[in-house]
Amino acid sequence: MPAEYGFWENIKKVVTMKVRPSDRISGVKEYYFSAKLKEIARLKQSGKPIINLGIGSPDQPPHPRVREVLCRESARDEGHGYQSYYGIPELREAYSRWYAARFDVTIDPSEEVLPLIGSKEGIMHISMSFLNPGDEVLVPDPGYPTYQSATALAGGVNRLYDLEASRGWLPDLEKLAQEDLSRVRLMWVNYPHMPTGARADAAFWSELVRFGNEHEILICHDNPYNFILNPTPQTIFAVDGARDCCLELNSLSKSHNMAGWRIGAIIGKECFLSQIIKFKSNMDSGMFRPVQLAAVEALDLDDSWYDSLNAMYRERKEIAYRILEELGCSYEKDQAGLFVWARVPDIYADGYALSDEMLYEADVFLTPGGIFGRQGEPYVRISVCMDVEILEEARMRIHALVHTKNGTQ
């Protein structure tokens, strides 16, 4: 062992004792998948052939034309410097065309579009821009864990609202309206919903906009799954009055296979975006211009792109259904998005128990629904972001385990 090793170990101990994390960090846990992926990596290193059915990261590449634009623009001598905090005009205009073509909604590209380094960034930006310490945020349970983390990091207070299968995983706005909402500043909603795949109809969007305007709450609609197995893509801005109380986040991660490219946008009224840019402009220095131009190409793709994407996911979901049937889980077939959400059978205490059994005994990881909130504890979630051969291998492993346990094999 090198002599200097002991010196650096002592330095690390001193630093550990002297430097403490901020209160805001101490109140936030490491993102579940960040920690779980490390465990799965350790299991793989030990020789376990783990199949990960947990993460919703598309396994296919973007459209060839999108990649061609990136390569062509990256080869140019210009375009490698800092870019505008507001995104290039071409990208804002592409988002405006996309809203017009896909939703028949007019968006002003100069004032109502703010490109992002992925929509997850936008969740943090919105929280930091509109929350003061002690302000409350309505957060869905079950829901995307980042909503709670961003609220806590911004000094806000998470106020969970239950989503239940009996209501189609939609919030009970009438019940919420009867509560004291005087400290609520933001409300997070997400349809098609992650993790349940539930969809909302036009009547709900109208009711939600009315709720936001009446109670002076900024409604933040996180909308990354709109074009994945969703026959009726919708925007909250199709509702009159939505611009006065709403923001909408969009992402190319799921709909265009560009998760690692980190491209998204906030759509909303200039008075809201002008506040967000105050925070955002202090956190980044714009996005690589060739990536933005490639995103323009992605947004201009025609229906054939979405049709082929959905045909692939439809085939994969059929295998996911069979996996869940092997486990005795119950599920709905009309779920949108990249996942299948299913209730575990009563023989398991909760989704964590089923997930652990499959991971450690069948080498297959399923996401426990409890990571999305208390309402998700009796559920598990399967991602379909891998090809049919891998999904079928997972099914066969689970089939073998189940039948061995039941003494039928």
- Give the residue among 74, 118, 108, 65 at the shortest CA–CA distance from 291: 74
Q: What is the mean pLDDT of residues 249-271?
A: 97
Q: Does residue 235 share a domain with residue 106?
A: yes
Q: Does residue 372 share a domain with residue 273?
A: no
* Contact (CB, 8 A) for 141 and 159: no
Number of domains within the chain: 2
Question: What does the pLDDT read at residue 6?
Answer: 59
Q: Does residue 310 share a domain with residue 224?
A: no
Q: What is the mean pLDDT of residues 317-330?
A: 97
Q: Does residue 153 share a domain with residue 122?
A: yes
Question: What does the pLDDT read at residue 31?
Answer: 65
Q: Does residue 369 share a domain with residue 317?
A: yes
pLDDT higher than threshold 70 for residue 3: no
Q: Would residue 5 count as lying in a domain?
A: no
Range of the domain at 116: 64-301
Q: Does residue 372 share a domain with residue 270?
A: no
Tell me the C-alpha distance between 263 and 253, whole Å.
7
Q: Give the confidence band of 14 by pLDDT, cuts at 50, 70, 90.
A: low
Q: How long a stretch of residues is the chain?
A: 409
Q: Does residue 334 share a domain with residue 185?
A: no
Q: Would residue 2 count as lying in a domain?
A: no
Q: Does residue 287 share a domain with residue 361?
A: no
Tokens of 392: 């079928």
Average pLDDT, the chain: 93
Question: What does the pLDDT read at residue 1?
Answer: 46
Q: Would residue 4 count as lying in a domain?
A: no
Q: Does residue 318 share a domain with residue 293?
A: no
Q: Does residue 93 share a domain with residue 177?
A: yes
Last residue of some domain: 301, 323, 356? 301
Question: What does the pLDDT read at residue 38?
Answer: 86
Q: Does residue 80 share a domain with residue 44?
A: no
Q: Would residue 3 count as lying in a domain?
A: no
Q: Would residue 105 count as lying in a domain?
A: yes
Write the CATH number for 358: 3.90.1150.10
Q: Does residue 87 share a domain with residue 198?
A: yes
Last residue of some domain: 276, 301, 326? 301
DSSP 8-state secondary structure symbol assigned to residue 347:
T
Residues 21-65 have pLDDT tens digits of 888 777 676 767 677 778 888 988 899 999 999 988 999 999 999
Q: Would residue 6 count as lying in a domain?
A: no
Q: Would residue 354 count as lying in a domain?
A: yes
Put simply, whether the predicted model's pTM sits higher than 0.75 gets the answer yes
Q: Would residue 390 count as lying in a domain?
A: yes
- Give the residue among 201, 200, 219, 199 at the shortest CA–CA distance from 209: 219
Last residue of some domain: 273, 301, 329? 301
The residue whose two tokens read 């947990």 is 54
- Give the residue among 223, 230, 280 at the shortest CA–CA distance from 253: 223
Q: Give the confidence band of 7 by pLDDT, cuts at 50, 70, 90.
A: low
Work out the number of other CB atoms within 10 angstroms of the CB of residue 157.
Answer: 16
Write the CATH number for 247: 3.40.640.10
